Chains A and B, each alone.
Chain A
Amino acid sequence: MWRGDNASGRFEDFRVPAQENQTILDVVSWIQQHRDPTLSYRYACRVGMCGSCAMMVNGVPRWTCRTHVKVALKDNRISIGPLRNLPIIKDLATDMDPFFDKWVAAEGVHHPSRTRDDAIEQIDPEDGARLEANKGIECINCSVCYAACDTVAGNADYLGPAALQRAWTLFNDAKDAGKLSILEAVSGKGGCHNCHSQGSCSHYCPNDLNPMAAIAGLKRVTALSFFKGRK
């Protein structure tokens, strides 16, 4: 298990008793409760909803509360580290600020189209854009895709798969009035065009979402917008 911060650190060995039903988060909690109370890590819901407990398990990003020890065990050992591509605060806790700052930079925020005095907009659940938007709404902001992305690793400005998928979801949302500002935000130097379509985001997403397809969608609409002379 990784111990340390951004400046220095090392992997430390712990022996943890095996149990029939045991997640990676159970292992981390056992070490913190029985071996070293100074261990820092982050979790909240323990049922795969809050997106807090993602870590690198055997070198790949996973949601630790829903990852069974049995699937990760290699030669009776597991390596557990802080999420890749984010600054380490201490041990397994990373600073998520860059990740969430990029959500805002990608215009992944609600742009209201009506006031409280207007009637609620009627949404057709079978509408094509609505169906496209639906594909991304189960994102739990766990940053697994961000940690998996090699483009993020090589390009610090790149907004990353989660933020861009959020932008694509809002672009397809009839209740969002910020389509042009979204297009502008994802067309800049850290925008969707930096994606190499390697697909690690979609491969590792614990909720089986497809950020790579969302980014391809953004590339399509920005290309059309480019030909229309908007940007």
Chain B
Amino acid sequence: MLTVRLYMLQRITALLMAPLVLGHLAVMIYAVQGGLSAAEILGRTQGSVAWLLFYGAFVIAVSIHAAIGLRVVVHEVLGLKGMLLDLFTWAIAAGLFLLGGRAVLAVTLS
């Protein structure tokens, strides 16, 4: 159910997410402390390739990591397996990617 490939994908995306989470928290605290308005935040993120890459990578890593993690939970707790389990995994990955990707594009496209 969890092959070496899925296991490594989950570990690698976890490694990727660790600094991204810290960066995200730091940005949030900075924005709140500094009292930035939504317009000021968008002024900094819109048109920024750096923020697109930062949060784009975050969304890709989350989509892969969470889909594999939920795959394990659903298999062991609910007994889902085979093609249905694969479909579930892909649906979670695609859903998170679409939701996250839409949000990233909304704040980074100028």
Residues of A within 8 A of B (CB): 151, 154-155, 157-158, 187-191, 193-194, 219, 222-223, 225-226, 231
Contacts and interface: CB of A to CB of B under 8 A. Distances in A.
Contacts of A155: 1, 75-76
A223 B8 contact: yes
A154 B77 contact: yes
B1, B11, B76: residue with the most chain A Cβ atoms closer than 10 Å: B1
Interface of B: 1-8, 11, 72, 75-77
A182 B75 CA distance: 25
B76 A189 contact: no
A-B CB proximity, top 4 nearest: A154-B76, A193-B7, A187-B4, A194-B2
A157 B1 contact: yes
Given A154-B75, A154-B77, A191-B4, 20 more contacts: A155-B1, A157-B1, A158-B1, A187-B4, A188-B3, A189-B2, A189-B3, A190-B1, A191-B2, A193-B2, A193-B3, A193-B4, A194-B1, A222-B4, A223-B4, A223-B7, A223-B8, A225-B4, A226-B4, A226-B8
A194 B3 CA distance: 8
Nearest to B6: A193
5 contacts: A187-B4, A190-B1, A193-B4, A219-B7, A223-B4
Contacts of B8: 223, 226
B4 A231 contact: yes
Contacts of A190: 1
Contacts of B11: 223
Nearest to B79: A154
A194 B77 CA distance: 14
A223 B12 CA distance: 11
A190 B75 CA distance: 12
Contacts of B75: 154-155
Contacts of B2: 189, 191, 193-194
Contact of B5 (A151, A157, A219, A226): A226
B107 to A, nearest CB: 35
Nearest to A231: B4
A222 B4 CA distance: 7
B76 to A, nearest CB: 3
Contacts of B1: 155, 157-158, 189-190, 194
A191 B4 CA distance: 8
A85 to B, nearest CB: 13
Contacts of A231: 4
B15 to A, nearest CB: 12
A158 B3 CA distance: 11
